[in-house]
Amino acid sequence: MLYSQYRWNTPNIDLEAAAGLSQALSVSALVGRLLVSRGVHNETEAERFLHPDLGQMYDPYLLRGMNEAVPRIRLALERGEHILIYGDYDADGVSSTSLMIHLMRHLGASYDIYIPHRSNEGYGLHNHALDWAHQQGVTLIITVDTGISAVDQIAYAATLGMEVIVTDHHEPPETLPEAFALINPKLPDCPYPFKGLAGAGVALKLAQALIGEVPGEWMEIAAIGTVADLMPLEGENRVIVSYGVESMRGSRLPGISALLEISGVDQSQVTSVNIAFAMAPRINASGRLDHAGRAVSLLTTENLDEAHMLAGQLDLLNRERQQVVEGIVQEANAQLEQKIQLRSGKVPDVIVLAGEGWNVGVVGIVASKILERYYRPTLILGIDPETGVCKGSARSIDGLDIYEALTACKHTMDHYGGHPAAAGMTLHRDQLEELESGLNEFAASVLTEADFMPERLADDECRISDVPLKVIQEIDRLQPFGMSNPSPRFVLRNVMVKETRTMGREKRHLKLVLEQDGQQLETVAFGKGALAEYLPAGTFIDVMGELSINEWNGMRKPQLMLQDIHVPQAQVFDLRGNADPLNAMKQFLGSLEVHLRYTSGSIGAIVRKDIDVSEGNSLYEPCLWVYDRKVGLFPYNAAAQHYGQEQVRTLFVFDTPETPEQLDAMLAMFSGAENIILLHGSGNRRDRLQMPSRDLFKRIYMLVSKWRAEPVEEQEITPVLSRQCGCSPRMITMMLDVFEELSFITRKDGKISFVDNPPKRDLASSRHYQALENMAETEQVLLDASTPQLTQWMISRMKGVS
């Protein structure tokens, strides 16, 4: 049994409303249900959702501060003042800054830009940057995607004679800066109807207020910031991204075309998903490993050659970023395992990890990866070894507002800011322990055990027959997909694995062919290649994923992009004959970690006394049992004695039982085991049993009868009979047991005597014969049967003793 990584939930849908939409829009019942699950309940709402229009955008002057900001900017243009655009280094900040550059060019303004260096300066306004701006003759600063918390810095700018217009979308603090104008839809007294704008969206609203309808290329840039910053794709954001993506398909911006090309995206088919997973990571790589100015240059250049050069540089930075992330993830995991061991195997409610030399530009990505594995709110911080200053990023789970949690511990930090799901912070390393303690104390007061089980919402359950090409094409009408309008996920239950194979140079990806009711569906799972050997053909599984259309050589087929998997029945895994069974055990536990849901006492192993499996998994000590012929299986370590066999869900068998009775006793003892992994070798073939036959017994009987004159030493004739009949000495001994039971021979003092004229008795009536037959069959299956035969045989025995 493999558990799903996530808890699957499907919404309660108003089926009557869904049927009405399906009929009114002439779409499938499935698409009708998808619309209802997204808050669309009537035909009018459906038209707005399916056909985003510029007419759905709000008047920018509804934003508080816009009435003050626009006249001030126009005055600056009239006076020829030097304006500074002060941005941020993430993809939203880059987009916001780039959009403002296009605006300044359009207005003919005298301007400069400043984006702080992520590693050297950190987030937000800085006084030294304001000093520089003052030296450049700046009199007006316009912030984008930053500034709402810069109380002291904006006050300092005022002392230098510079006025500041803040455009931001982050959560406002209790004390607001005294800027010339504050434009942020999240301000408590801001009447703007839509609160979900990205920083680039707010910058776009400023541009609309200044010039009216903006060029389509600016919508492309705003779309990048909106998608990259994980803003909800509903309301006004849906309009921005829809128009941006449509414009992007024929973009006149050299940087957009070059970035899509280097990312391997067909520009004519670009979607919001491509923005999220192809464009945004490369833009972000600039600010993470270098300076965000390189990405700004890409989005604002008018030269195609320069655009290709810059796009290539960002692509290389992104590859370097991936390597840096992997290195930090390994160090962070090792550090976390030590913490878990000190906590007796318990993962902290909030994970706080810090390391010297960790690149602060990628700590947010590392935090996401640690969170994905352990599903705990996670802070990753890089420590400057000289100053002791820590800069980090946090990522959180649904149950914990990380901004609120940090606010409860704000006395430990020099600076922090962010959203409920993500945040950044700066503090001294001496405060790390107190911050970690405070966050865990806060989490303990708000989180329950259920919060630590990751949940993934599936839009609907369906069968393969429900999703032909026509329906998948209809689903595509719900684009653009992103936050609050995710690409629809579906659950398909009780589908059979028809074919399993890996893909990619390093076999990192998985491809399955699934079958149900005679219909097949190809399924691809990126990064799940390790599951291939654990999903043999014939396995019935439940899957969750996103539907798409695979186009190859002119053929179009439905395809499921698999995100999660569940095997609902007990499984037997055949890893027999492995040269290094301990390493095989460790690999098994590592490959299937998220699908086995380890808990203390859930891993068991049946071993010989000379095998040490304590290093099988450093987080969960396996419970060890040893087989003894007299007393059966008995616990061999403290973990087994403490937890007992009832807790075991994953059982590793290093040595096979010697008899069917021992096997059934083992299966009965571990009746709660959901996975049995066979790691035994092929045994000593010279000591193997073979299926008994009447001819073989007749032959042995004739050979033994040659010594009828006088008793013979059993120890002497056993090897002789073994050589003459091609049977193992063990087999000979067990056949002699049968002869003795049937009174064909007698045994005394290690000697065998032949009985003349024994009673006529059927071999099959012998208890020893039946035991030999069962033992030979068991041994043959366990050691020689094919994997399908072995697993089916084991599962049938498991059912028989349950």
What are the backbone dihedrals phi and psi of residue 139, each rounded to the nearest 5 degrees, phi first? -120, -15
C-alpha pair distances (Å), 640 with each of 24, 69, 466 = 63, 70, 48
| pLDDT reading at 61 higher than 70 | yes
Tell me the pLDDT band of 684, cut-offs 50, 70 and 90.
low
Which residues have C-beta within 8 Å of that of residue 227, sequence separation ≥ 6?
A: 233, 241, 272, 275, 276, 280, 480, 482
How much of the chain exceeds pLDDT 90, in percent? 69
pLDDT of 802 reads 52
Task: Enumerate the H helices of 118-188 as residue ranges.
Answer: 127-135, 151-159
How many residues does this entry show for the chain?
A: 802
- Neighbouring C-beta atoms of residue 460, cutoff 10 Å: 20
* pLDDT at residue 361 in the model: 87
212 Cα distance to chain centroid:
43
Q: Which residue has the higher pLDDT, 687 or 626?
A: 626
544: left (phi over 0), alpha (psi -120 to 50) or beta: beta
Is residue 139 helix, strand or coil?
strand
Residue-wise pLDDT for 466-475, tens only, equals 999 999 999 9
**Close Cβ partners of 562 (under 8 Å, ≥ 6 residues apart):** 510, 512, 523, 524, 525, 528, 543, 544, 545
Alpha carbon 62 to its chain centroid, in Å, reads 41
Answer yes or no: is pLDDT of 273 > 70. yes
Query: Which residues of the chain does CATH 2.40.50.460 include?
Result: 7-40+457-566
Closest to 462 in 3D by CA, of 502, 493, 440, 423: 493
pLDDT of residue 36: 93
Q: What is the pLDDT of residue 708?
A: 81
Alpha carbon of residue 365 to chain centroid: 13
DSSP state of 430: G
Find the angle CA(27)-CA(29)-CA(30) to the nearest 5 degrees: 100
Please return the burial class of 204, using the count of CB atoms within 10 Å of its CB with bins 0-12, 13-18 and 19+: buried
Binned at pLDDT 50, 70 and 90, residue 494 comes out as: very high
Rounded distance between C-alpha atoms, residue 785 and residue 230, angstroms: 52
- pLDDT, tens digit (0-9, with 9 covering 90-100), for 84-101: 999 999 999 999 999 999
Angstrom distance (rounded) from CA 262 to CA 313: 10
Fold classification of 56-316 is: inorganic pyrophosphatase (n-terminal core) (3.90.1640)
Distance CA 77, CA 491 (A): 57
282 in Cβ contact with 314 (< 8 Å): yes
**Neighbouring-strand partners of residue 632:** 628
Q: What are the tens digits of pLDDT across the range 552-567?
A: 888 899 999 999 999 9
Whether 706 has a pLDDT exceeding 90, the answer reads no
- What residue type is 328 in one-letter code? I
- Collapsing DSSP states into helix, strand and coil, what is residue 797? helix
pLDDT band for 614, please (50, 70, 90 cuts): low
Whether residue 652 is predicted with pLDDT greater than 50 in this model: the reply is yes
What pLDDT is recorded for position 203?
A: 98
Q: Which amino acid is at 345?
A: G
Contact 453, 412 (CB under 8 A): no
pLDDT reading at 133 higher than 60: yes
Distance of CA 570 to the CA centre of its chain: 24
Which CATH code is given to the segment(s) 7-40+457-566? Answer: 2.40.50.460
| 84-115 as b/e: b if 16+ CB within 10 A | bbbbbbbbbbbbbbbbbbbbbeebebebbbbb
- Which H or E element spans position 499? strand 489-503
Phi, psi of 691 (to 5 degrees): -65, 125
- pLDDT tens for residues 720-740? 999 998 899 989 999 999 999
pLDDT band at 600; cut points 50, 70, 90: confident
CA distances to 336, 600, 622 from 648, in Å? 25, 9, 9
Residue 657 identity = P
Task: Measure Cα distances from 347 to 369, 381, 449 in Å.
Answer: 15, 18, 12
**E runs forming strands in 286-373:** 351-356
Which pLDDT band, with edges at 50, 70 and 90, does 617 fall under? very low
Torsion over CA of 754, 758, 764 and 769, rounded to 10 degrees? -20
Phi, psi of 656 (to 5 degrees): -75, 150
Would you say 101 and 109 are in contact if contact means Cβ atoms under 8 Å apart?
no
Q: Which CATH class is domain 571-681+784-801?
A: alpha beta
Q: Report the alpha-carbon distance of residue 411 to residue 414 in Å, rounded.
A: 8
Phi/psi zone of residue 80: left (φ > 0), alpha (ψ -120 to 50 degrees), beta? left
Q: Is the pLDDT of residue 123 over 90?
A: no
Dist. CA 167–CA 96, nearest whole Å: 10
Tokens read off for 289 = 């490993």
Q: How far apart (Å, rounded) are the C-alpha atoms in residues 674 and 3?
A: 10
Q: Which regions of the chain carry the CATH code 3.90.1640.30? A: 56-316
Answer whether residue 619 shows pLDDT above 50: no
**Neighbouring-strand partners of residue 549:** 558
Query: Kind of pairing, strands 712-713 and 378-383?
Result: unpaired
Which range (45-54, 57-66, 557-566, 698-707) has the least confidence? 698-707
pLDDT category at 613 given cuts 50, 70, 90 is low
Provide the terminal-to-terminal Cα distance of the chain, rounded to the nearest Å: 16
Please tell me the least confidently modeled range out of 491-505, 609-623, 699-713, 749-763: 609-623
Q: Tell me phi and psi for residue 212, to 5 degrees.
A: 85, -135
What mean pLDDT do residues 409-420 have? Answer: 90
Mean pLDDT of 774-790: 87
Q: How far apart are CA 148 and CA 689, in angstroms?
A: 80
Residue 532 · residue 501 · CB < 8 Å: yes
Apex 528 CA angle, 523 and 531, nearest 5: 90
CATH number for 686-765: choose from 3.40.50.720, 1.10.10.10, 3.40.710.10, 1.10.1370.20: 1.10.10.10
Strand pairing category for 623-628 and 751-754 = unpaired
Q: In sequence order, what are the residues at sequence separation of 6 or more whose Cβ sits closer than 8 angstroms to the Cβ of residue 789?
A: 781
Residue 372 has pLDDT above 80, yes or no: yes
Choice among 184-198, 365-379, 613-627 with the minimum mean pLDDT: 613-627
pLDDT tens digits, 73-88: 999 999 999 999 999 9
Please report which confidence band the pLDDT of residue 611 belongs to, taking 50, 70 and 90 as the band edges. low
| Angle 39-42-45 from CA coordinates, rounded to 5° | 65
Mean pLDDT, to the nearest integer, of 441-445?
Answer: 96
Give the largest CA-CA distance in the chain. Answer: 130
The rounded Cα 356 to chain-centroid distance in angstroms is: 27
Q: How confident is the model at residue 618 (pLDDT cuts 50, 70, 90)?
A: very low
Per the CB < 8 A criterion, the answer to whether 112 and 84 are in contact is yes
Q: CA 236: distance to chain centroid?
A: 30
For 382, the token pair is: 């890089």
Cβ–Cβ under 8 Å, residues 282 and 317:
yes
**Could you tell me where in the chain the CATH 1.10.10.10 domains are found?**
686-765
Paired strand residues for 712: 752
Name the DSSP letter for residue 567: B
281's tokens: 């990571």
| Residue whose tokens read 């400057």 | 384
Q: What is residue 683's predicted lDDT score, i.e. its pLDDT?
A: 66
Instruction: Note the pLDDT of residue 551.
Output: 84
Judged on CB neighbours under 10 Å (0-12, 13-18, 19+), 799 is exposed
> What's CA 426's distance to the chain center, in Å?
28
In this prediction, residues 391-413 reach a mean pLDDT of 95
Q: Is the pLDDT of residue 336 over 60?
A: yes
d(CA 5, CA 94): 35
Range with the lowest mean pLDDT among 209-223, 481-495, 600-614? 600-614
**Of 656, 661, 696, 699, nearest to 678 (Cα)?**
656
Long-range contacts of the stretch 635-638 (C-beta < 8 A, 24+): 636/607, 636/609
| Residues 613, 617, 618, 621, CA torsion sign | negative
User: Going edge to edge, which strands form the sheet with 745-748?
Assistant: 712-713, 751-754, 745-748
Average pLDDT over residues 212-241: 96
- State the CB neighbour count (10 A cutoff) for residue 264: 9
Q: What is the DSSP letter of 414?
A: S
So what's the architecture of 347-444 in CATH? Roll (3.10)
